[in-house]
Each structure stands twice: as C-alpha cells, then as structure tokens.
Amino acid sequence: MALAAARPDADGRPLRVTAAVRPALLAAALAAAAPAFAADSLGQCGPVDRPYEAIELPAVQLRRLGKTPLERLGVVAFRDGHARAIPFQIDERRGRKVALADGTEPLDDDRPGSLDPDDVLVFMVCDAGERKDGRPLEAALPEPGPLGAWREIEVRDPRTTKAAYAYLVVAEKPPRTATRYVDYTPGADLVSSADYRVGLVSALPTYLALLRNGTPTPNLLDGPRLRVHATLLANLADFSLNEREGKHRLIAWKAGPVRVVRRSRHYVSIGFGIELSAGVANTYFYARHVYAPGSLKLPFSPSVFFRDIDAIGGADGRDLRGWRYHANGVPPVGFAIDGHSSEEESHFAANGNWFALAERERAILFAVRLSENLAREIPLHLVYRDDASAPFPPEEVPGTVPLVGFQGHHIERLPGGRYQFALHIFSLPQFAPGDEKDILRDLEAPATVAVTDAGSG
C-alpha cells in the first residue's frame, strides 16, 4: 500500500507536525493517498517457513563481485522448477551504518551505485525456493539472456535443518520484479505494508492500523509510553520523565522493496550528566515485522546520585475493547480487554519478555531482547492496565485500554557501560495461544546464509 501522493517539503526535509494537528494530518494523508496503496502481500513461503525474517548477506561473501553496478543485479528463486524474480535490495553501507540518502542528516555511500564489500544483500527468507537443476542458470531464467556471473545462496533453518535457495545474477538486463512489501511516505512519516500501517510524529509512533482485505482498522495506538521515575540519594527529591520530554526527530530514511529503514535521533537526560538514552536509532520495517534495536549508554552508575530508578516502556492502546491480552502468567484464554480492571487483572504480576494483543484471528506480538549484561541486572516485569477511568498522562485520549509494556526496577544498580536491547513487533494474520513460541524460538536461532555455488556466463 504505497502512499505515493504525499511528499517531503520542497527542500527535501520531512514536514513538521504539532501534536494538535496530528489526528487531522494522518486522516487527510490516508484519505488522499488511499487509491495509491501498492504494497504487496508476502506470498506462501518456500522450503524454509519463516515469514517474519529477512536475510542480510554481506557483499564480501559474494566472491569477486565487488564494483559491480547495482543496476546489473537481480535475484531469482525456483518454485516447481520455474525461476521467478524475487524482491531484494542492496543496502549500501559506510562501515557499520546503512547509507540513507534521504533526510535532514543523510549518509551517502562512499562509492554509490556499485557493490562494495561492506554492502548487504537483503531479501526475505520466505522467498527463497528450491535448488536449481543441472541446466545452465541462464536457460531457466524468465527472460533468457547472457549472464555475467551468478551466485547460489543457501538459506538454512537451524531448527528444522531445511534449506532453501536464491540466485543472485549479474546481467545487462537482470530479472527484476515490481513486487514490493513495504512503502514509505516521508511527508507524513507513514510506513505501509499489506498487513499494517505505522505513522509517526517527532519520530515517535502515534498511529497503528492493521489491514483486513485491504481495509485498515481504526487507529489502535494512543502513543508510546516511556516513563522514568527517580529518587535522589537521601530522598532529596523525586522526579519523573515521559516520552514527550525528550528530543526525538527523524533524520534519514531509505524505502526499499523489502524493508524501510528509518534513522532517528533521540536524547533524554535525567541531569547530573547521566544520559538514559542518547544517540541515533535505526528502525527496520518489513512485511510483517518491525525491528527496533537500541542501546543504553551510562557514563557511570546512576547509583552515584540516585537511590532508586524505575522505568516503563510500552504502548497505550486506543480503545481495544474486544481484544485479548496474552503473556506469561495469564490464563490460557488471555485477559479480556474491556476498559474495566477485574480483580485478577489488578493482581497480575509476572516477568516476561513478550506479550500479544489478539482480536479474532489477528494478533500483534511484542518481544524484547536484552544484552546479557542488561538482562542479568534488570529483569523485565510485564505491565498491563485495562482501565478506561485511569488516565496515564500525557495522553491524546485519557484512559488505559490497555496500557501494555515492560518495566524495569532498580536501574540505578547498573554499572557504567553500554547495554543493548531490541524491540520486535510482529503482525500475525493467524493466531492461537502458543503460536508465539515458534516465533520466539526463531529469534534465538536465526536462519543461516552461505554462498554455496558460483558461476559466470
């Protein structure tokens, strides 16, 4: 569902939007661009059934293809003996950073338009197919023609040991497809796929809709909830911070057929030179998966100044009555979200690194992964509040229906250093309690990739 109608300002910078006009802007952008939606659904998976995972293959592993012009590259996969072009993109890099050419702080590749050793080839695991037969590769291509070179790429599921294959080809007219799984409208900061839409203001998500037969649900999200409460030593003072008191802005992006990459700058300080979050974050949007890695940098332990620090990271639903909440410690049927806190819900207390919000056959699965040093110091507690009469300001719509997320206690105990974390959000078109287990296991054991054969035309 491409939103091709909206564009950045004439100077190339994204439009600036205030909270007061946010709902009207999103509604207008969606209405104006609705006829242009063009993102394609992810099809049936090949031998490796992982619809939420993408492959990132460093170009250095492609063996002697350095300096190849990017327009000469194509990727094909075989199904039932027939080759077809599949969506892919080359994410050019400057060192460890993806080169994002658009935005107020663009990062251009040092050799744009040609394959460098630090670039990565990106395609969906789901699109990889069967291994080709013994015929020359060019004879099996949809549009036969001379090949300059080709590489066989093996994708393997470490849990099932099943393998699938894709073929990178170099040609004057390489096989390509117009299929794309995601699209991006920078003027509205809106990401679209066939499964979901996410809209952001000041680099924070304020709009989330799922799609059923091409029709979006109402906005499901009141906004993110990032809250910190701290007490100074000797109880000298208490203070709290929320997501709106930080500085957040979109600085660069890239919209490819496999993923949209957004780069944003964030800064939150609690004083005394202590930075709870600082730096640049990259967020990756795929057909059914959003991946947001991040880091926490502490120049020294907060315990030097603070007796206690608690933090909540989560989301406030916008009237999800009729949905159900699933997580560790919840009854098998889940908690019914109805805007009223039952006795069982009010006494809910559990640790965990995932939860799901389900409605009819659809669900949204949230999972957090922490670096070993962070998980060892700060176990995650699940947050769930279903109470329309209990506001959690600042909000657009008062009430928590529901508030969901994770909480960390005694953050002041962290030693100085750098800590890594990642948020994964999955759109599940079919869901039953327990389905999350395979997805979470796949996160712990990602598919492996290797170049297993090569040739030239």
Both structure tokens of 226: 């990032």
- Asked whether residue 160 falls in the same domain as residue 270, the answer is no
Residues 335 and 374 grouped into a single domain = yes
Cα–Cα distance, 332 to 293 (Å, whole number): 30
Query: Domain check: are 138 and 267 in the same one?
Result: no
293: domain CATH number is: 2.70.98
Contacts of 416 (CB under 8 A, 6+ apart): 298, 299, 300, 301
For position 82, what pLDDT does the model report?
93
Boundary residue ending a domain (122, 157, 179) = 179
pLDDT of 79 higher than 60: yes
- Strands ordered across the beta sheet of 163-170: 82-85, 73-79, 163-170, 149-156, 448-455
Per-residue 3-state assignment (H helix, E strand, C coil) for the chain? CCCCCCCCCCCCCCCCCCHHHHHHHHHHHHHHHHHHCCCCCCCCCCCCCCCCCEEEEEHHHHCCCCCCEHHHEEEEEEECCEEEECCCEEECEECCEECCCECCCCCCCCCCCECCCCCEEEEEHHHCEECCCCCCHHHHCCCCCCCCEEEEEEEECCCCCCEEEEEEEECCCCCCCCCCCEEEECCCCEEEECCEEEEEECCEEEEEEEEECCEECCCCEEEEEEEEEEEEHHHCCEEEECHHHCEEEEEEEEECCCCEEEEEEEEEECCCCCEEEEEEEEEEECCCEEEEEEEEEECCCHHHCEEEEEEEEEEEECCCCCCEEEECCCCCCCEECCCCCCHHHHCCCCECCEEEEEECCEEEEEEEEECHHHHHHCCCEEEEEEECCCCCCCCCCCCEEEEEEEEECCHHHCCCEEEEEEEEEEEECCCCCCCHHHHHHHHHCCCEEEEEEEECC
Domain count within the chain = 2
On whether both 110 and 80 belong to a single domain, the answer is: yes
Please report which confidence band the pLDDT of residue 292 belongs to, taking 50, 70 and 90 as the band edges. Answer: very high
Same domain, yes or no, for 159 and 215? Answer: no
| CA proximity to 358, closest of 401, 330, 322, 387 | 322
Note whether 208 and 354 are same-domain residues: yes
Q: What is the pLDDT of residue 17?
A: 42
Write out the residue range of the structural domain in which residue 130 sits: 54-179
- pLDDT tens track for 141-179: 877 678 899 999 999 999 999 999 999 999 999 999 999
Mean pLDDT of 368-385: 96
Indicate whether 11 belongs to any domain.
no
239, part of any domain: yes
pLDDT tens digits, one per residue of 19-76: 444 445 555 555 444 444 569 999 999 999 999 999 999 999 998 999 999 999 999 9
In tens, the pLDDT along 16-30 reads 444 444 445 555 555
Residue 3 near residue 188 (C-beta atoms within 8 A): yes
Residue 381 lies in a domain: yes
On whether the pTM is more than 0.75, the answer is yes
Produce one character per residue of 77-109: b if its CB has 16 or more CB atoms within 10 Å, e if not.
bbeeeebebbbbbbbbbeeeebbbebbeeebeb
Q: How confident is the model at residue 110 (pLDDT cuts 50, 70, 90)?
A: confident
Domain's final residue, options 123, 156, 179: 179
The confidence score (pLDDT) of residue 45 equals 97
Same domain, 172 and 206: no
- The answer to whether position 426 is within a domain reads yes
**20 part of a folded domain:** no
Same domain, 338 and 404: yes
pLDDT of residue 25: 53
Tell me what the mean pLDDT of segment 213-218 comes to. 91
What is the tens place of the pLDDT at every residue in 243-289?
988 889 999 999 999 999 999 998 876 555 555 555 789 999 999 99
Residue 367 has pLDDT above 50, yes or no: yes
**Could you tell me if residue 208 is inside a domain?**
yes
50 and 442 Cβ atoms separated by less than 8 Å: yes
CA distance 142 to 125: 21
Question: What's the gap between Cα 382 and its chain centre?
Answer: 21
Tokens of residue 239, six digits = 């203070």
Distance CA 190, CA 1 (A): 11
Domain end (from 156, 179, 202): 179
For residue 452, being part of any structural domain is answered with: no
Residues 187 and 275 in one domain: yes
104 with 217, same domain? no
**Are 409 and 272 part of one and the same domain?**
yes
pLDDT at 76: 97
pLDDT of residue 12: 37
In this prediction, residue 288 carries a pLDDT of 98
Residues 222 and 362 in one domain: yes
pLDDT-based confidence at residue 212 (cuts at 50, 70, 90): confident
CA torsion sign for 431, 433, 434, 440 is positive
Instruction: Specify the pLDDT at position 239.
Output: 80
pLDDT above 70 coverage of the chain, percent = 89
